[in-house]
Amino acid sequence: KNQVEQSPQSLIILEGKNCTLQCNYTVSPFSNLRWYKQDTGRGPVSLTIMTFSENTKSNGRYTATLDADTKQSSLHITASQLSDSASYICVVSARPGTYKYIFGTGTRLKVLA
CA distance 63 to 101: 21
Evaluate whether 93 touches 31 at the Cβ level (below 8 Å). Answer: yes
- Interface with other proteins includes 28 (CB under 8 A)? no
**Near other proteins by CB under 8 A: residue from 17, 28, 98, 112:** 98
**Greatest C-alpha distance within the chain:** 45
**Near other proteins by CB under 8 A: residue from 25, 75, 84, 106:** 106
Q: How many residues bind other proteins (CB under 8 A)?
A: 28
At its nearest, how many Å lie between other proteins and the CB of residue 111? 19
- Interface with other proteins includes 2 (CB under 8 A)? no
Evaluate whether 26 touches 34 at the Cβ level (below 8 Å). Answer: no
Q: The dihedral of CA 1, 40, 44, 73: what is its sign? A: negative
- Interface with other proteins includes 94 (CB under 8 A)? yes
User: What is residue 27's three-state secondary structure?
Assistant: coil
Residues that bind other proteins (CB under 8 A): 4, 31-32, 34, 36, 41-46, 49, 51, 89, 91, 93-101, 103-106
